[in-house]
């Protein structure tokens, strides 16, 4: 894929609020899609479509562990795209709405008893007590 197509795909990926929220929720963690569904209250197929878009843009990687799909942030290969992506992630860390998403994720993950649909799901590493 040529460089212009890559940057266009990156900007399109970053032009959607749900995808920005997903990027913020992943932070430095690898996270199971089930937690993203629970925090954002968006159905799993829609979350998966957004995550697939982010994978095509080269900013998210996925791996399967049994029935669980785990997603994590990866840096774009192009240095200019990586710089743009880093700036967006810095901005998201300071955004009030995305801070509320992170707080909700922490609350859900750190609760003494997880919601039924998350009982056997692996928790994000930075939120394991």
CA 73, CA 34: separation in Å to the nearest integer? 16
Q: Which H helix or E strand runs over 64?
A: strand 60-65
Tell me the pLDDT tens digit for each residue of 75-126: 998 899 999 999 999 999 999 999 999 999 988 887 777 777 776 777 777 7
Q: Is the pLDDT of residue 18 over 80?
A: yes
Question: What is residue 7's predicted lDDT score, i.e. its pLDDT?
Answer: 86
**Percent residues over pLDDT 70 in the chain:** 92
Task: Name the 3-class secondary structure at 66.
Answer: coil
pTM: 0.88
Q: Which two tokens stand for residue 129?
A: 């007590």
Q: Helix or strand or coil: residue 40? A: helix
pLDDT in the model for residue 68: 84
Which of the 8 DSSP states describes residue 43? -
Q: Determine the pLDDT at residue 2.
A: 59
Q: At what angle do helices 79-93 and 3-14 cross, to 10 degrees?
A: 10
Span 19-28, pLDDT tens digits: 999 999 998 8
Structural tokens at position 61: 């990687």
The pLDDT of 70-79, averaged and rounded, is 93
Give SS3 for 6. Answer: helix
Structure tokens at 43: 């159905």
Collapse the DSSP code of 42 into the 3-class scheme (helix H, G, I; strand E, B; otherwise coil) and give the result: coil
pLDDT at 3: 62
Segment (H or E) for 51: helix 44-56
């Amino acid at each position: 894929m040529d460089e212009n197509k890559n940057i266009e795909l990156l900007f399109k990926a970053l032009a959607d609020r749900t995808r920005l929220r997903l990027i913020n929720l992943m932070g430095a963690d690898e996270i199971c899609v089930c937690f993203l569904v629970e925090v954002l209250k968006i159905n799993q197929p829609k979350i998966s479509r957004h995550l697939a878009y982010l994978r095509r843009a080269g900013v998210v990687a996925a791996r399967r562990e049994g029935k669980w799909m785990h997603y994590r942030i990866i840096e774009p290969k192009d240095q200019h795209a990586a710089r743009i992506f880093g700036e967006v992630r810095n901005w998201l860390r300071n955004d009030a709405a995305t801070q509320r998403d992170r707080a909700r994720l922490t609350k859900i993950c750190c609760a003494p008893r997880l919601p039924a649909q998350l009982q056997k799901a692996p928790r994000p590493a930075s939120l394991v007590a």
